[in-house]
Structure 1
């Protein structure tokens, strides 16, 4: 009995500590997050890569052609055979005299071996971890992740999107292949702005003291497609999503691996449906994380009751992050349609305001719908005790999924 009493007391203390740690850490984070600046609408040219093999063939080729500097930020950098090819390119370029900086999220890239980092640094690659776990809010800081994926090569070519560095992203994971995602290759006048976003994170987490950043911001020629970068953290993304959804006049299309919106965002979608907006949601048929699929069901049921169309992508794993509003605006970036991206992660999205580009991307999304199975409310309401139990657990932890 005494043991049970002590154990119960310890569990209670742990729960109280976790609650206070997270609540106070979030309060401090929200208070010190810099006020979001509205980035200008600029013009550039874009390629869209929905498959990892074609993306990384192009990406590695551009890395190998770098002459001055390479700046890279990924959420996940694995330590597998595919990653080794990536590391070998970075080490070779650093030895040639190219400035190479690699920033990786501390939790997302947890499997990166210390020896691998030492080898990169010995070759001349500057490496840093972003969003390290730190006192006094250990639990909260462990949940705040840098989910951005940005690369800038020679200040002229940029990459941004949903792919990370690891074998699953080139279809070498048998359970999650083929991997479906969207990644952008960017040229044009907005590259210096993307470069600035990288340095905002680099200066926060690296020990390097930059004396003259101006050498990295060469003016680039104007492209054809109007677009706008939207970097967010803490609670900034929720308002941006709501403002975006309110622009809809005919349709909203959402592609996401995790559909776990906040109450405010869900209410905005419901109101859009009530005023006659056609809402289409594409999610995966298979899941890459425990409970995230079950966490989405309560929200999908709500949208199905309001007349939304829901599809589960069946031709591999669906990891896309996109929103299309009518044929006027589309959003492609790193943020998922979930509470973690809304309130915890650092993210960066790109809004496009060119109707021709929006139609081009919409065709890709419509192709994904053809490779999907439509889900009905009856499907999600079928009696399933195992699923019901998992949904209950997922609901309690949905903020972190």
Structure 2
């Protein structure tokens, strides 16, 4: 009996600590961030929906770099493909090219001390982003740098949903083929990507290089009108709301995780009731436990309003996009979920070019052809396993409201001792 009381008390103390840690940590985070977006700028864009084609192009551009390479990824793994990527960076550093690599501490937890030592010995400047910090260990475990950007010689930029690992080149049997959208960018807008990388590097690489002119060559305007919108804390929700409110005829959303905020859900319901055609593309196969079941309650409400929901079946769907009336589209690193909306560092691109949007909608419509419609009957037909998963997802909704509690977050707490004491765990 005494043991049971002690155990219950211990559990209650942990819950209280998590609540206080998260609440105070979020309050501090909100006090520090500021909203940023570029004015309308002009660049040139290619879009890559397949990993093999993207990385063939990306690796080729890395190998041709003449001055500097700056890379930020959420995930780099320790598999053969990841080692190929890291080998290219080490080779370029050995040639005398300046190489800086910034990886999210928890997303790239598979990157070992030995791997980091090898990079540094080859001359690569390396740092982990968003390490865990006192006094808010739990909150800092939830705030991830989810951006995936690369800048080569200050002239070529990459931005999108792909990370570095074998699944992204269709070498994972369960999640293959991998479907994603990634941009290759040239023109004046690359300057902004460069500055965003250097802002993150200043914080985690502990070098202030923003005033270094060699990183910012004079670049010509491109053809495509667009804006970049970097977000964190709570800024993304307002950006998505603004997009949806502009719709007059159609809204298309693609996201691997669909867990919208209350405001976004209500805005979508209102749009559907106004006769706006809404299509949502999500995966048929999930890559994380319970995340699909967590989306079903939202999708049920939208299906009742006549929204079309499609589950992509030709592999795993990881693309992140919103298209409004074929007039503006959003492509970037952010998912349509609460973690991206309220916590993560993300960066998205709003594009206003009809020709490019036509290319994107063509890709989206092909993805819809590779999908099955999700119906209310699918979600309401008795299914014991699905019902159990939905109930479990509901029971831990506390953590979903805290923008997701993931395996990576738990792993991050393992790293907390070194991170909290200021030791960069290589």
> TM tier, shorter chain?
over 0.9
Task: Please give the secondary structure, in 2, of the residue aligned with 1:201.
Answer: helix
How far has the Cα of 1:394 moved from its partner? 1.7
2:22 corresponds in structure 1 to: 22
- Give CA-to-partner distance per residue, 1:220-259, whole Å, 9 cap, x none: 1111110110100000000000001011010000000000
Q: What RMSD over aligned residues (CA atoms) do the two structures have, in Å?
A: 1.0
Query: Separation in 2 of the partners of 1:284 and 1:341?
Result: 17
How far has the Cα of 1:298 moved from its partner? 0.4
Residue 32 of structure 1 pairs with residue 32 of structure 2: yes
Give the alignment of 1:147-296 within 5 angstroms.
Answer: 147-210=146-209, 212-296=211-295
Task: Please give the secondary structure, in 2, of the residue aligned with 1:107.
Answer: coil
How far has the Cα of 1:386 moved from its partner? 2.2
How far has the Cα of 1:67 moved from its partner? 0.3
Of the three residues 397, 400, 418, the one matched with 1:398 is 400
How far has the Cα of 1:344 moved from its partner? 1.0
Change over 3 Å in CA distance of 1:209–1:222 after alignment to 2:
closer
Give the alignment of 1:2-401 within 5 angstroms.
Answer: 2-33=2-33, 35-210=34-209, 212-395=211-394, 396=397, 397-399=399-401, 400-401=403-404
The answer for unaligned runs of 5 or more in structure 1 is none
2:415 corresponds in structure 1 to: none
2:423 corresponds in structure 1 to: none
How far has the Cα of 1:32 moved from its partner? 1.2
How many pairs align?
Answer: 400
Moved over 2 A (4+): 207-212, 397-401
* TM-score with structure 2 setting the length: 0.93
- Give CA-to-partner distance per residue, 1:343-389, whole Å, 9 cap, x none: 11000000100111111110000000000000111111111232222
Task: Please give the secondary structure, in 1, of the residue aligned with 2:39.
Answer: coil
How far has the Cα of 1:200 moved from its partner? 1.1
Query: Separation in 1 of the partners of 2:376 and 2:36?
Result: 41
Query: Separation in 2 of the partners of 1:235 and 1:209?
Result: 26
How far has the Cα of 1:40 moved from its partner? 1.1
How far has the Cα of 1:37 moved from its partner? 2.5
Query: Separation in 2 of the partners of 1:107 and 1:72?
Result: 17
How far has the Cα of 1:212 moved from its partner? 4.1
- Give CA-to-partner distance per residue, 1:111-134, whole Å, 9 cap, x none: 101101001001110000000011
- Give CA-to-partner distance per residue, 1:11-48, whole Å, 9 cap, x none: 11111001111111111111111x21331111111111
Change over 3 Å in CA distance of 1:163–1:209 after alignment to 2:
same
How far has the Cα of 1:208 moved from its partner? 2.8
Conserved in 1, the CA contact under 8 Å of 2:43 and 2:222?
yes
Query: Separation in 2 of the partners of 1:252 and 1:129?
Result: 37
* TM-score with structure 1 setting the length: 0.98
Task: Please give the secondary structure, in 1, of the residue aligned with 2:391.
Answer: helix
Change over 3 Å in CA distance of 1:189–1:147 after alignment to 2:
same
Change over 3 Å in CA distance of 1:39–1:212 after alignment to 2:
closer
Conserved in 1, the CA contact under 8 Å of 2:49 and 2:182?
yes
